[in-house]
Amino acid sequence: MGACCALALGGARAAGDVFEGLAPELVGAEFTSVLEGAELACQQDRADPELRRCTPLPGALETLAGAGVSKVEALFRDGRLALITVYFPEARFAQVLPALSARLGEGSDWSVNVRSGMAGQFSDEIRIWETDRFVLVAQQYDRRIDRSSVIYGSPREMARLLRTIESTPRGGLRDL
């Protein structure tokens, strides 16, 4: 499958913050309209021709609420923005969470306790926002002790992640 490299239309300046170019409110938007505010390099998924995976071009979408991000991926299904995954250092979670709450409201607290080898047990703060158009999950420890995430997408795309998170009751114990 061929690669597609797309640049923002109209010579717009590269958006620095992920929410400037890939705002949660854009979930469900057509590929070309998303490109109006985000500079992305995209490829068709080899396993599923309905999917297009995109990452920001160098210098674009490098922060979330002022925190540097380590990875951003936008997934388009059938030409529409379906899922955005943002990873950033866990040390920046305390900076990102208040910005999310200011933008989206408090959300539901689904914090759990995690068990991690010799580190013992500690709290994993998880916040969930659900709307008709999108679901957003902010997780302090996303499968690693040093990585946080903000993942959002259509309710359909987020269903599996929500089932995984909600399989551990609030305040329950799970492995990292």
pLDDT, mean of residues 91-104: 95
Percentage above 70 pLDDT, the chain: 88
Burial of 53 (0-12, 13-18, 19+ CB in 10 A): middle
Q: Which residue has the higher pLDDT, 116 or 32?
A: 32
Mean pLDDT to the nearest integer, 95-106: 95
- Report DSSP state, residue 66: T
Q: Return the pLDDT at 13.
A: 42
121: exposed, middle or buried (C-beta count within 10 Å: 0-12, 13-18, 19+)?
Answer: exposed
- Average the pLDDT over 136-160 and give the result: 94
Enter the pTM of the model: 0.87
Q: Which of 137, 132, 145, 140 is nearest to 163 (CA)?
A: 137
Q: Which two tokens stand for residue 136?
A: 């957003």
